[in-house]
Structure 1
Amino acid sequence: MKQIVLQITILAGALFTMCVARGIADEPAVAPAGTFSFVVLPDTQGYVSDKNEAYFEAEVNWILDNRKTQRIVFVSHVGDIVNKYKSDEEWQIARKHMLRLSGKLPFAFSVGNHDMLSGGDSQKFQETFPASLFENEKWYGGQIKNNADSYQLITAGGMDFVILHLECNAPDDVLHWANGVLEKHSDRRAMVTTHMYLGPRDRPRESRDYYDATKGRMRWHKTQGKRGNTPQQMWEKCFSKHRNLFLICCGDQSRTQAMHRTVKGDHGNSVHECLSDYRGGFLRIYRFEPKKNQISVMTYSPLQQELCSGTKIAPDADDHQFVLKYEMSK
């Protein structure tokens, strides 16, 4: 116990030096009646070791301890669950913490490039988080590839949602399935979590390009071989086509860390694209506020117990605490 406390103290101290104090409140305010929240976990690949496991534990603890006060209805993981695909120890650490949500909150994963082999084989993920863990849950809509791609059906605030989780650089057969899911549930409000999406628009040629090059929807891919679709291709072949889609969440790019923008789909619908990959103990809270027709997005550190007001990579507080306009009152 003393060792765990010491680890948390050291990690919290390191996190404090990274954050820039700008007078932002320490804790997310209690969610008012009529609102509800989705929590998005950024890449946890740095949390699956004895040294940094305290991050993972603290984030799941906070979700469980605050699921009522924050009115949390769903937890989404953007992928890179582990750092080393072949490490059974890392997969077991991830399983230990994520399965604490079982029976308490619906949750799902995007499979990241670290969660698969370069050709797209995600057998280790499928063995750790197989479809059999979820198939009896009322909110579990369906899957392919033994849960490597899945969707969930959630009702909150009197609204019905379909939440699609797609593997990194999903190939055409997966996008065909995804299009079918979104068409079948076109009467629901649609969200997508996938791993690689926003970051350096073109493939970096040198290390500084990951930080300094033009950022946007990426036009290159990392995995799935020749079958892999770039984020831009995933948008063109799938995401842009569905009028009910309003939010895409992603991770993958720790050297961009935080980014959000709003674009138009083929039907004129606004789609919010949001990246979060902090690797430093921050999670994202998407608080839906139907009476205000907005989603308040908060980036919070359970270890440091404060909202993020800026980091060295993304110093602007508005990259971490912001509001998305979204019509819900009709």
Structure 2
Amino acid sequence: MPAGPRLPWIALVALVAACGDNTPALVPATASTTAGSTSTGGEGGPPTSTANPDDGTTDPPVTTAPPTTGGEPGTTGEPGTTGEPGTTGEPTLPGCGDAPPADFVAEPSAPADGAAVPGPSVDLVVTIGGTILADATAKFHLREVHTLTDADDFTIVILPDTQNYTQFPGNFPQYPAQTQWVWDHRNTDNIVAVLHNGDVVQHGNIEEIEWQRADTAMSTLEKTGTKFPDGIPYGIAVGNHDNGASFHDDIPFSTALFNKYFGVDRFEGRAYYGGHYGKKNDNNWILVRAGNLDILMVSLEYRGDLGQDPDVLAWARGVFEEHPHALGIVNSHHIVKANGDFSAEGKQIYDVMKKVDNVQLMTSGHIKEFRARRTDNYMGHRIHSMLADYQDLIVPADDCAGGCGYMRIWRFSPQKNQLKVETYSPSLDKFMTGDKEQFTLTVDLSAATGVFEVVGQTAGHDATLVHTVTDLKPGATYEWYAIVRECGAKVTTPTRTFTVE
């Protein structure tokens, strides 16, 4: 196709750089000393579990230093960057005007969806339209589609409120028993992550000894080995007892001690740590890989009567949208009430996430001695939301209190598109039964059939942008899409499939 008008070469270089994909890197440039290793990588990151139980583990150092600063509001977690909600955060470019073009569109045009191509190469073609003020860039993503088996199954462990373990020394052994079980079963159960629902402690800004106990328990997950260079990935949501929003505290909504013990510096440099909102770790996200599936987990701070901050929710939505093919999970302290209704802030979270296609699960605690769940469907998009909290459970026959060590085990089967939820206590070695404690949910895990990788980028001023993919496998099926940017506008094209003859 004849070449269209071009910008001067200096402007073109600036345009291509500014219009590049701003997706945060999964592996930070400098590894944290707490991780015990140096990690490098790119989109998708390394596997986080293995079937080999002998991986030469070592104990981690204890980290209690004050946190360092990170990204500003409006980012997707990249430290030291800023951006406005609803835009790509790109500067104004030569010839672009004052605002992104509202009518910019992009569609995959070849090969046709479901087509058979001769191979071993194929041209991926995107057709663009609307206002084209300067060169557009298209970043092409491709994956080979694999057949799923039982070997693709994986597990995530949910830790409900631990406040009565950290407050009372007699109850405390049940907390490290939970994390030790996770570590001991990391390979046999293919555990890829742990999420703490919040209320780590009882007196968030008063009793530092409680945070020290939590640090001891969670440090077990930070042991390192050949297959786990950053330890077992985990994320923590800030609960009302953690930030002083309960009557037990006298410094409302302060997270000074939370950030002293579980702040940005503790996680920075670990490959799974995606980032945080603002300068503190109160709202944070992690990204892990289970076989061929990326799993993105965002933890949001409890805000109670203040309600969730709209800017934080916009940030969280942006994080999920930057990883459209990852399984999305929201972790926050109070989402579901005892009767199964949404809490006020749970409803705020859902009203944002229901419009984000890849968010399918939300997990919470907060309500003592209750378990509840709900499933909501918005225009075909289904989200399962769950509540589990055992903090006041006392079983004299088992000589236990404070929750008796019960936690949730989420067992995923991508082959069956299923999530089996179990309730188990490592300290008692007992399962709870009943439909509130053991149940199966349908979850779309089709993305586990393969990981999208960036295979190339093309820039141009013409109506089509083309990238040639080579070395395709005969008989293999592939899926692809492109992220197209122009003058601050951004479009993610629909996904298309083709098979190589």
Q: TM-score range by the shorter chain?
A: 0.7 to 0.9
TM-score, scaled to structure 1:
0.77
2:271 aligned with 1:138:
yes
- Match among 274, 290, 296 for residue 386 of structure 2: 274
Deviation above 6 Å: which 4+ runs of structure 1?
A: none
- Match among 286, 297, 300 for residue 163 of structure 1: 297
- Match among 146, 156, 163 for residue 38 of structure 1: 156
Map 1:310-325 → 2, pairs under 5 A: 317-325=434-442
| CA-CA distance at 1:262 after TM superposition | 1.1
| CA-CA distance at 1:108 after TM superposition | 0.9
Map 1:183-194 → 2, pairs under 5 A: 183-194=321-332
Confirm or deny: 8 A CA contact 1:243 1:268 kept in the other structure: no
1:254 is matched with: 368
The whole-number CA distance in structure 1 between the counterparts of 2:255 and 2:436 is: 32
The whole-number CA distance in structure 1 between the counterparts of 2:163 and 2:428 is: 19
The whole-number CA distance in structure 2 between the counterparts of 1:186 and 1:161 is: 11
| CA-CA distance at 1:162 after TM superposition | 1.2
The whole-number CA distance in structure 1 between the counterparts of 2:153 and 2:317 is: 29
2:416 aligned with 1:292:
yes
Map 1:183-262 → 2, pairs under 5 A: 183-200=321-338, 214-219=339-344, 230-236=345-351, 238-255=352-369, 257-262=370-375
Confirm or deny: 8 A CA contact 1:288 1:296 kept in the other structure: yes
2:248 aligned with 1:121:
no
The whole-number CA distance in structure 2 between the counterparts of 1:173 and 1:147 is: 15
The whole-number CA distance in structure 2 between the counterparts of 1:259 and 1:157 is: 30
Which gives a bigger RCO, structure 1 or 2 (Cα 8 Å, sep 6+)? 2
The whole-number CA distance in structure 2 between the counterparts of 1:34 and 1:155 is: 11
Confirm or deny: 8 A CA contact 2:238 2:301 kept in the other structure: yes
| CA-CA distance at 1:187 after TM superposition | 2.8
Q: Match of 1:125, as an amino acid?
A: F
TM-score, scaled to structure 2:
0.51
Identity of aligned residues (%): 35
SS at match of 2:151: coil
Confirm or deny: 8 A CA contact 1:43 1:252 kept in the other structure: yes
| CA-CA distance at 1:184 after TM superposition | 1.7
Q: Match of 1:189, as an amino acid?
A: L
Q: Tell me the number of residue pairs that the alignment of Structure 1 and Structure 2 aligns.
A: 266
Question: Per-residue CA shift, 1:120-172, capped at 9, x if unaligned?
Answer: 22111011111111110111111124211111111113111211011113322
1:313 is matched with: none
Question: Per-residue CA shift, 1:161-208, capped at 9, x if unaligned?
Answer: 2110111133222112112212222232211100011115xxxxxxxx
Pick the structure with greater CA Rg. 2
Question: Per-residue CA shift, 1:29-66, capped at 9, x if unaligned?
Answer: xxx63210000000000100211111102111111111
Q: Match of 2:181, as an amino acid?
A: W
**Root mean square deviation, CA, Å:** 1.5
SS at match of 1:247: strand
Greater share of residues in helix: 1
2:224 aligned with 1:109:
no
- Match among 81, 88, 95 for residue 208 of structure 2: 88
Q: Match of 2:175, as an amino acid?
A: F
1:100 is matched with: 220
SS at match of 2:421: strand
In structure 2, runs of 5+ residues without a counterpart are 1-149, 223-229, 246-251, 392-402, 450-501
| CA-CA distance at 1:247 after TM superposition | 0.3
Q: Match of 2:427, as an amino acid?
A: L
Q: Match of 2:439, as an amino acid?
A: F
